[in-house]
Amino acid sequence: MMPKGMNVIKRDETAWQMWHRNGTRCPRGTVPIRRSTVHDVLRAKSLFDFGKKQRRSSLTRRRDAPDVVSGNGHEHAIAYTGSSEEVYGAKATINVWEPSIQVVNEFSLSQIWILSGSFDGSDLNSIEAGWQVSPELYGDSRPRLFTYWTSDSYQATGCYNLLCSGFVQTNSRIAIGAAISPISSYDANQYDITILIWKDPKVGNWWMSFGDGTLVGYWPEELFTHLATHATMVEWGGEVVNTRANGQHTSTQMGSGHFAEDGFGKASYFRNLEVVDTDNSLTSVHNILTLAENTNCYDIKSSYSNEWGTYFYYGGPGNNPQCP
């Protein structure tokens, strides 16, 4: 059962996928799966690490602060809800760019996090979806649709996309890991994607839809401990890996590679932030909090308008004179 207030408009949600352009379609009863090659695996540090995010170590912070820490070089610019709420899903429309990546084992992503559990322990549950540029994972620098999950703080469970059992794809026309096109250009045409994740109140699985309501697949309730009931926090925003390969901050870009204050057509955005409440209704988010570890490298600025609801601009260039 989709959340109330979710208008389903029938239109082609596959035009953005490059693999459809030559007329390729999946036979009835099958789903598209991006092939992993030997080269994909060899780019990872190990077979165990292939398709996994590195665990983020903990920092001292407020009890209601989100799971954003600089451990292992992960840096963020995010908006988030308070940690005392019961949340059953989230939605946003995300501006798509092609940020440059300095070294192959760094990435840049823009996503929604659905979270529950302890940020300081080993039981954090997370469901994630958005777009990412990851040369290590995909072998190129194109922005790609992705999913992720973990039930133990990124230690042993979970993976990207369909690289392990977990996310169950039901759509035969949308490929997880597919390159997104067209993408936004500086001071020119802007393109975005809409992602909704919500918990089915009857069966309990967490579903993902793309665009104007096209179902993609679900994360079974049994994958999780805390998220088996509900989420306690939602985050929206960007994440990069900073390996300091040359002893300096990475020049890997977040979003468009421009700071939030540059605004529309220049900075990347998330718009129309919504959450699914206890009544299985989509409601606009108010009073969001924002966080960026190093605003000289990447920053975020939130606002509200009638058309975009709660929204924010975010991102940055990484290395610059103020971010050495």
Give tens-digit pLDDT for 15-72: 566 655 666 666 676 666 656 565 565 556 665 565 567 655 443 333 444 444 445 6
Selected residue with higher pLDDT from 84 and 129: 129
Picking from 312, 268, 271, the residue whose alpha carbon sits closest to that of residue 290 is 312
> Which residue is catalytic, options 13, 75, 98, 128?
128
Q: What pTM does this model have?
A: 0.86
Q: Are strands 282-284 and 192-199 parallel, antiparallel or unpaired?
A: unpaired
Residue 65 has a CB neighbour count (10 Å cut-off) of 16
d(CA 132, CA 253): 12
Q: Active site includes 128?
A: yes
Q: Active site includes 293?
A: no
Task: Provide the pLDDT confidence category of residue 11 given band limits of 50, 70 and 90.
Answer: very low
What was the pLDDT predicted at 139? 94
Average pLDDT over residues 7-20: 50
Say how far residue 48 (Cα) sits from the centre of its chain.
22
State phi, psi for 285 to the nearest 5 degrees: -85, 135
DSSP 8-class letter at 180: B
> Which residue is catalytic, options 75, 136, 235, 239?
239
Cis peptide leading into residue 182 (ω within 30°): yes
Please report where in the chains the tokens 């208008």 appear, as a residue.
7
Beta strands in 6-103 (DSSP E): 74-80, 89-95
Average pLDDT over residues 148-175: 94
